[in-house]
């Protein structure tokens, strides 16, 4: 069984797929889809907690319907699954939902912290000669430098690797640990910019700093 984080209605939420529910409870996927469609919940609840999607079969190129189900949706759906074995599975799912929601909460906290850090870096660059020298693109240049040092790829390459649309915020897809690493590096870069360091100096310094951190 797998509880994961997905973006539904522009928000990150913990979900489980209807495919996984079918496998865990030893049901045909078609029956799980039927159970979801037959739920007597309101349309608002359905739209908020059951995200329609599709998957491709390994045996052919056809696509088939499925749902991503939120914690509340799973609770509603699983009410009809009874028996000792089903109860154990439900308890296990709830534990996974709890664990993933704690992780997601930590990530949201880091995202909030990151706003102040980015503002600090932006202000430092605006007050330096770097932004003018880079024709107003200093922030993106330094951000790409940080991504390259930490992940070996710039923002464009990260988007391409993980299939992230240009309209989406890349940092919404970073883990809590990755967000902390980026914010720590941005704080360092902000301080170095305030000290009058240039791009080449900073790039080499943060490369060495990151290498030392990994080796420690």
Write out pLDDT tens, residues 137-178.
899 999 999 999 999 999 999 998 888 888 888 887 888 788
Polymer length of the chain: 216
Backbone angles phi, psi at 15, to 5 degrees: -140, 165
First to last CA, the chain: 36
The proportion of the chain whose per-residue pLDDT surpasses 90, expressed as a percent, equals 23
Q: Are strands 63-70 and 11-17 parallel, antiparallel or unpaired?
A: antiparallel
Return the sign of the alpha-carbon dihedral for residues 177, 183, 189, 192. negative
pLDDT confidence bin for 135, thresholds 50/70/90 = confident
Q: Which two tokens stand for residue 45?
A: 């609840």
Query: Measured between alpha carbons, how far is 7 from 68 in angstroms, rounded to an integer?
Result: 10
Average pLDDT over residues 174-194: 87
In this predicted structure, the answer to whether residue 41 has a pLDDT above a threshold of 70 is yes
pLDDT given for residue 99 in this prediction: 78
Q: What is the pTM of this model?
A: 0.55
> 82 in helix, strand or coil?
coil
Query: Measured between alpha carbons, how far is 3 from 71 in angstroms, rounded to an integer?
Result: 9
Average pLDDT over residues 33-62: 87
Q: Which of 80, 94, 77 is nearest to 41 (CA)?
A: 77
In this predicted structure, the answer to whether residue 14 has a pLDDT above a threshold of 90 is no
Query: Measured between alpha carbons, how far is 140 from 170 in angstroms, rounded to an integer?
Result: 13
In this predicted structure, the answer to whether residue 190 has a pLDDT above a threshold of 70 is yes
Check: CB of residue 27 under 8 Å from CB of residue 117.
Answer: no
**Angle at the Cα of 188 from the Cα atoms of 183 and 194, rounded to 5 degrees:** 125
pLDDT given for residue 95 in this prediction: 82
Buried b (16+ CB within 10 A) or exposed e, 192-213: bbeeebebeebbeebeeebeee
- Chain centroid to CA 93: 20
């Amino acid at each position: 069984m797998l509880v994961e984080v997905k973006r539904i209605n522009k928000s990150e939420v913990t979900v489980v797929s209807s495919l996984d529910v079918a496998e865990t409870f030893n049901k045909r996927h078609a029956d799980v889809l039927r159970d979801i469609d037959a739920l007597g919940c309101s349309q608002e609840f359905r739209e908020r907690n059951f995200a329609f999607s599709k998957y491709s079969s390994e045996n052919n190129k056809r696509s088939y319907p499925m749902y991503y189900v939120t914690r509340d949706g799973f609770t509603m759906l699983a009410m009809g699954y009874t028996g000792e074995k089903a109860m154990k599975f439900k308890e296990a799912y709830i534990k996974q939902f709890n664990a993933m929601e704690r992780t997601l909460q930590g990530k949201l906290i880091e995202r909030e912290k990151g706003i102040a850090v980015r503002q600090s870096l932006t202000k430092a660059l605006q007050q330096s000669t770097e932004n003018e020298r880079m024709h107003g693109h200093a922030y993106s240049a330094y951000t790409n430098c940080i991504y390259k040092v930490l992940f070996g790829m710039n923002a464009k390459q990260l988007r391409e690797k993980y299939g992230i649309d240009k309209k989406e915020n890349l940092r919404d897809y970073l883990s809590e640990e990755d967000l902390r690493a980026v914010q720590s590096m941005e704080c360092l870069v902000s301080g170095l910019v305030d000290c009058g360091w240039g791009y080449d100096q900073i790039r080499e310094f943060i490369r060495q700093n990151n290498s030392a951190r990994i080796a420690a």
